[in-house]
């Protein structure tokens, strides 16, 4: 594996079994759905992965755009949701061509850690252009510098215990030691943000942000932030 895109574009063992994958995406869809601002909203899930429960988000919105950089992932999404008129699958290049101020909510979950700070800043600039003035940006599963492997393992085992795949999770943890993911993470590293650092990065891109509890994913040591364009936030304060 050369890079993270190669990893996500190929078969991998990031999920210990199908139940783990489906529980994972169902929980994320539930959290995203709770944030959809209106039944007519256009929502962009950027870096969405397999998004096996995306239909639950689409039910609460007017339109859902799923985007992932990995062509193999997009092919799966297109097959899965080809009969859902509310869901569209787009590449990052196609997302970059969307009209300005055309999106009500953008979700970018478990993505920031795989980008360097410059690339993430470029992505935030794109999101600022795409969002409506009163739009909402949700940045999820941000890893803080103090996060440790023990907490990650404990969070996975709690999820597995609650959802009936504990044995598979234990076997998967053993296999992870020799996995492509572990090798890439050791070689390329992950980009970590303390809470003030992420708020500052969002502010530099023109957003006012605050941390949201809970995190979109199961590991609550990681963080989710909800941001709005700064001009919109300032207008709201004046109106109040």
What pLDDT shows up at residue 177?
58
Q: At what angle do helices 18-35 and 166-176 cross, to 10 degrees?
A: 100
* Tokens read off for 152: 């990650």
Model pLDDT, residue 174: 73
User: Which pLDDT score is estimated for 187?
Assistant: 84
What gap in Å lies between CA 156 and CA 143, rounded to an integer?
A: 15
CA pair distance 54, 206, nearest whole angstrom: 29
Q: Which residues contact 98 (CB under 8 A, 6 or more apart)?
A: 65, 90, 130
Domain boundaries, position 120: 4-239
Residue 71's domain is classified under what CATH number? 3.40.50.150
Q: What is the pLDDT of residue 178?
A: 55
Domains identified in the chain, total number: 1
**What is the full per-residue pLDDT of the chain (240 aa) written as tens digits?**
478 899 899 988 889 999 999 999 999 999 999 999 999 999 999 999 999 999 999 999 999 999 999 999 999 999 999 999 999 999 999 999 999 999 999 999 999 999 999 999 999 999 999 999 999 999 999 999 998 788 888 999 999 999 999 999 888 887 765 577 777 878 888 999 999 999 999 999 999 999 999 999 999 999 999 999 997 554 544 444
Cα distance between residue 103 and residue 92, in whole Å = 15
Which of 134, 42, 37 is CA-nearest to residue 88? 42
Cα gap 106→209, rounded to integer Å: 14
Asked whether the whole model's pTM tops 0.85, one would answer yes
pLDDT for 82 equals: 97
B/e letters for 85-109, b = 16+ CB within 10 Å, e = fewer, are: eebbbbeeeebeebeeeebbbbbbb
Q: What is the pLDDT of residue 240?
A: 47
């Amino acid at each position: 594996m050369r890079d993270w895109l190669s990893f996500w574009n190929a078969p991998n063992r990031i999920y210990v079994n199908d139940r783990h994958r489906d529980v994972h995406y169902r929980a994320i869809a539930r959290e995203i759905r709770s944030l959809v601002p209106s039944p007519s909203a256009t929502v962009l899930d950027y870096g969405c992965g397999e998004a096996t429960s995306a239909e639950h988000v689409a039910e609460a919105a007017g339109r859902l755009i799923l985007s992932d950089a990995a062509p193999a992932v997009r092919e799966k999404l297109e097959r899965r949701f080809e009969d859902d008129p509310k869901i569209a699958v787009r590449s990052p290049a196609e997302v970059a061509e969307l009209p300005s101020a055309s999106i009500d909510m953008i979700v970018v979950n478990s993505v920031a850690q795989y980008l360097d700070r410059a690339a993430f800043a470029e992505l935030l600039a794109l999101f600022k252009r795409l969002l409506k003035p009163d739009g909402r940006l949700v940045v999820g599963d941000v890893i803080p510098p103090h996060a440790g492997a023990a907490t990650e393992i404990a969070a996975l085992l709690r999820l597995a215990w609650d959802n009936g795949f504990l044995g598979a999770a234990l076997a998967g943890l053993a296999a992870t030691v020799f996995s492509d993911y572990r090798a890439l993470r050791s070689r390329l590293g992950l980009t970590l943000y303390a809470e003030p650092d992420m708020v500052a990065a969002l502010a530099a891109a023109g957003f006012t942000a605050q941390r949201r509890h809970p995190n979109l994913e199961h590991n609550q040591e990681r963080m989710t932030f909800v941001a709005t364009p700064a001009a919109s936030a300032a207008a709201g304060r004046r109106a109040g």
